[in-house]
């Protein structure tokens, strides 16, 4: 239990009537749970006779493919989805099962994705609620398209993603998994590169036979099972109690982004932590940006140039980054700080996808600057005072409120420790093994669309560049803040909602330096305009991480050394627990 060891505990658990209703009433229901806050990992087998599709045809699974809300993204990603579905269908045929696709390819739209909540409702009206159902994902998907139908589906549900970084299918699946977990909907999950490996075949066979897949989550253990010194526990608790006592405001510029149901914290769960939402509007941010003068925007741009940021400009607005786009982002940066100050926000999140993207360039450069302590200074338009002088204003990308709560607590805790407090979320995008100096490590690609602080990069601002956001996502462009994260030790974490309560997983990882050629290969396999972090999660396998992680996002913050990273992880876990959050340590975290 201590120093990275963990244990598996079998517990007989009661389940709600809805979950029981998904099984044959003639079967006894016993759920095996890990000592991880009640994560369901196994069920009594469902009889194969129960696994039937609409029309009563045996040995048929229903398949749905969820996509983006943006037509351009769905069109560009469709070929990868077709490739993935062919491989998945072939794997099912080898097991003697047929695939019934619940919705057809749309020749007018030139893709075959479910692309709206409206369409999702229409599709699920035609699906037998008892049928075994596969959600196949090779792209980013908006979970709200499927959640209404999945919330009442009584047959076994399997989420499947292709192990590829080409488009964020793994990220989309993790978002859907986190959303289903929050909703209390039972599901199984699996992933594969070619859908021919033993891990995938064994998992698929178990699901086809039993209606569930059992994954190894032995890397997870409750904080109460772990040794933390009294001093560490007291330090973490003191910061948490101060937050609860003094309270703080979380500024949310339009709640909910790209279907991330898992990223919305209900007020009744958030308020006990001492944090309260100020629900703001992106239209207010747009309006405030229009009040910023050209000279103020030019001063921000000049500051960045002096710091050494490289702007990759072109001449075509529709495809290249231009100075006009950057200056509009600089205005948004100033407006963000002024609105945050006006409403007393300790942290803010900008939705920035739907709505704002049709009015302004992307907010990613803005977000990266806000997350950095050393950033362009901004004065109040009211009294001329410096806003958040000498401090970062923690920003949570895509209004992920779970990341916002985490970032706020982390920022204050690291300030208490006297360490650089810059923190950011990343997508858990993809990964691959890499062999160096005789060691073969699984190196994850942490990638986010531009909100990483320059303090995390090799060379800081001088190691950063700004490149145009892909047109398929952002018609009006906008620059990122791109860089390669510096080698060192980090504490990673994720707050999520399960069983109606806030939970948090934490662990320690090493950020490693890869050769330039390998870094470029990984960028080209994913999204080369975005900042990247090469991370090795300690004591956690690739499959363990995918099985447990309940989000597309992962929060990271640097510690001064390996020893201090382990200490900081224990202190932060203690702070989370003091806020009333069910807290777990994952992988190798040394005892205190």
What DSSP state is assigned to residue 58?
B
Which CATH number is 208's domain given? 3.40.50.10940
Q: Residue 378 pLDDT > 70, yes or no?
A: yes
Alpha helices per DSSP H over 139-254:
147-152, 169-183, 198-210, 230-246
Q: Is residue 38 part of a domain?
A: no
Reduced to 3 states (helix: H, G, I; strand: E, B; else coil), residue 49 is: helix
Confidence tier at 101 by pLDDT (50, 70, 90): very high
The verdict on 203 and 234 lying in the same domain is no
CA dist., res. 461 & res. 304, Å (int): 8
Report the chain's mean pLDDT, rounded to a whole number.
90
The verdict on 391 and 526 lying in the same domain is yes
Q: For residues 78-89, b (16+ Cβ closer than 10 Å) or e, as one string?
A: bebbeebbebbb
For the segment 162-221, what is each residue's pLDDT rounded down to a tens digit?
999 888 899 999 999 999 999 999 999 999 999 999 999 999 999 999 999 999 999 999
The total of other beta-carbon atoms located within 10 Å of residue 9's CB is 12
The structural domain count of the chain equals 2
Query: Among 30-39, 113-122, 289-298, whose mean pLDDT is lowest?
Result: 30-39
Q: What is the mean pLDDT of residues 453-458?
A: 98
Q: Residue 513 pLDDT > 70, yes or no?
A: yes
Confidence tier at 437 by pLDDT (50, 70, 90): confident
For the segment 402-434, what is each residue's pLDDT rounded down to a tens digit?
999 999 999 999 999 999 999 999 999 999 999
The verdict on 324 and 246 lying in the same domain is yes
> What token pair was written down for 132?
């075994």
> What token pair was written down for 198?
């033993």
- Torsion over CA: 239, 240, 243, 246 (sign): negative
CA dist., res. 178 & res. 200, Å (int): 21
pLDDT at 56: 45
CB 39 within 8 A of CB 498: yes
Whole-structure pTM value: 0.90
CA dist., res. 139 & res. 532, Å (int): 19
Q: What is the mean pLDDT of residues 237-260?
A: 95
Q: Is residue 19 part of a domain?
A: no
How big is the chain by its Cα radius of gyration, in Å? 23
The verdict on 517 and 420 lying in the same domain is yes
The verdict on 155 and 236 lying in the same domain is no
Confidence tier at 399 by pLDDT (50, 70, 90): very high
What are the CA-CA distances from residue 126 to residues 100, 101, 111, 185 (Å)?
12, 11, 20, 20
Q: What is the mean pLDDT of residues 256-260?
A: 87
The verdict on 405 and 441 lying in the same domain is yes
The verdict on 243 and 299 lying in the same domain is yes
Of the residues 181, 215, 249, the one at which a domain ends: 215
pLDDT at 172: 94
The verdict on 452 and 538 lying in the same domain is yes
Q: What is the mean pLDDT of residues 102-106?
A: 97
For the segment 528-563, what is each residue's pLDDT rounded down to a tens digit?
999 999 999 999 999 999 999 999 999 999 999 999
The verdict on 342 and 473 lying in the same domain is yes
Q: What is the mean pLDDT of residues 503-531?
A: 97
pLDDT at 57: 56
CA nearest to 582, candidates 43, 220, 238, 215: 220
CA dist., res. 502 & res. 583, Å (int): 9
Q: Is residue 41 part of a domain?
A: no
For the segment 317-359, what is each residue's pLDDT rounded down to a tens digit?
999 999 999 999 999 999 999 999 999 999 999 998 777 888 9
CA nearest to 137, candidates 149, 127, 146: 146
Alpha helices per DSSP H over 116-212:
117-125, 147-152, 169-183, 198-210
Q: Is residue 279 part of a domain?
A: yes
CB 509 within 8 A of CB 539: no
CA dist., res. 508 & res. 261, Å (int): 27
Q: Residue 16 pLDDT > 60, yes or no?
A: no
Q: Is residue 196 part of a domain?
A: yes
The verdict on 203 and 303 lying in the same domain is no
Q: Residue 1 pLDDT > 70, yes or no?
A: no
Q: What is the mean pLDDT of residues 45-49?
A: 30
Which CATH number is 266's domain given? 3.40.275.10
CA nearest to 394, candidates 436, 433, 452: 452
Q: Which residues contact 360 (CB under 8 A, 6 or more apart)?
A: 286, 289, 328, 329, 332, 476, 478
The verdict on 201 and 254 lying in the same domain is no
Backbone angles phi, psi at 507, to 5 degrees: -165, -175
Which residue range forms the structural domain that includes residue 117?
48-215
CB 135 within 8 A of CB 146: yes
**What's the burial of 418, exposed, middle or buried (CB within 10 Å: 0-12/13-18/19+)?**
exposed
Confidence tier at 23 by pLDDT (50, 70, 90): very low
> What token pair was written down for 353?
């996808």
The verdict on 173 and 280 lying in the same domain is no
Place of tokens 């739907």: 354
């Amino acid at each position: 239990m201590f120093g990275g060891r963990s244990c598996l505990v079998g517990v007989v658990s009661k389940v709600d009537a809805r979950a029981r209703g998904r099984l044959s009433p003639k079967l006894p229901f016993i759920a095996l749970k890990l000592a991880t806050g009640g994560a369901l990992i196994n069920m009594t087998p469902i009889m194969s006779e129960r696994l039937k599709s609409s029309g009563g045809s045996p040995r048929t699974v229903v398949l749905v493919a969820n996509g983006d809300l943006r037509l351009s993204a769905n069109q560009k990603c469709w070929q990868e989805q077709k490739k993935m579905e062919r491989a998945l269908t072939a794997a099912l045929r080898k097991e003697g099962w047929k695939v019934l696709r619940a919705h057809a390819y749309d020749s007018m739209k030139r893709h075959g994705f479910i692309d709206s909540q409206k369409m999702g409702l229409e599709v699920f009206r035609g699906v037998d609620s008892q049928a075994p159902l596969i959600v196949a994902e090779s792209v980013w998907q908006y979970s709200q398209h499927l959640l209404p139908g999945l919330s009442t589906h009584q047959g076994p549900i399997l989420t499947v993603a292709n192990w590829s970084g080409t488009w964020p299918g793994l990220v989309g699946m993790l978002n859907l998994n986190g959303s289903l977990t929050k909703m209390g909907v039972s599901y199984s999950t699996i992933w594969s590169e070619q859908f021919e490996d033993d891990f995938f075949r064994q998992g698929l066979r178990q699901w086809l036979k039993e209606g569930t897949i059992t994954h190894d989550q032995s890397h997870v253990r409750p904080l109460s099972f772990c040794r933390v010194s009294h001093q560490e526990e007291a330090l973490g608790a003191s910061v948490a109690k101060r937050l609860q006592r003094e309270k703080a405001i979380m500024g949310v510029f339009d709640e909910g982004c790209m279907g991330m149901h898992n990223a919305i914290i209900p007020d009744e769960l958030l308020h006990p932590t001492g944090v309260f939402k100020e629900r703001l509007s992106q239209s207010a941010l747009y309006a405030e940006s229009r009040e910023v003068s050209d000279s103020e925007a030019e001063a921000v741009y000049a500051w960045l140039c002096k710091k050494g940021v490289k702007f990759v400009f072109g001449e075509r607005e529709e495809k290249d980054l231009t100075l006009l786009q950057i200056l509009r982002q600089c205005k948004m940066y100033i407006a963000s700080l002024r609105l945050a100050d006006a409403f007393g926000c300790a942290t803010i999140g900008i939705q920035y996808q739907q709505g704002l993207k049709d009015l302004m360039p992307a907010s990613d450069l803005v977000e990266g600057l806000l997350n950095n302590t050393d950033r362009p200074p901004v004065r109040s338009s009211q009294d001329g005072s410096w806003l958040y002088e000498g401090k970062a204003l923690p920003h949570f990308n895509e209004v992920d409120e779970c990341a916002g709560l985490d970032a706020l607590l982390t920022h204050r805790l690291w300030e208490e420790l006297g360490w650089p407090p810059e923190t950011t979320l990343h997508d858990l995008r993809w990964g691959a093994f890499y062999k160096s100096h005789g060691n073969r490590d699984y190196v994850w690609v942490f990638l986010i669309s531009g909100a990483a602080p320059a303090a995390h990069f090799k060379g800081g601002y001088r190691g950063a560049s700004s490149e145009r956001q892909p047109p398929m996502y952002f018609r009006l462009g906008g620059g990122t803040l791109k860089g390669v994260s510096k080698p060192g030790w980090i504490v990673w974490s994720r707050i999520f909602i399960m069983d109606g309560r806030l939970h948090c997983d934490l662990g320690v990882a090493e950020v490693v330096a890869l050769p330039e050629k390998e870094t470029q290969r990984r960028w080209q396999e994913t999204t080369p305009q975005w900042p990247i972090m090469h991370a090795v999660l300690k004591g956690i396998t690739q499959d363990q991480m995918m099985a447990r992680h309940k989000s597309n996002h992962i929060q990271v913050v640097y510690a001064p050394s390996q020893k201090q990273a382990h200490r900081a992880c224990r202190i932060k876990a203690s702070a989370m627990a003091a806020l009333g959050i069910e807290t777990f340590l994952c992988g190798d975290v040394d005892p205190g």
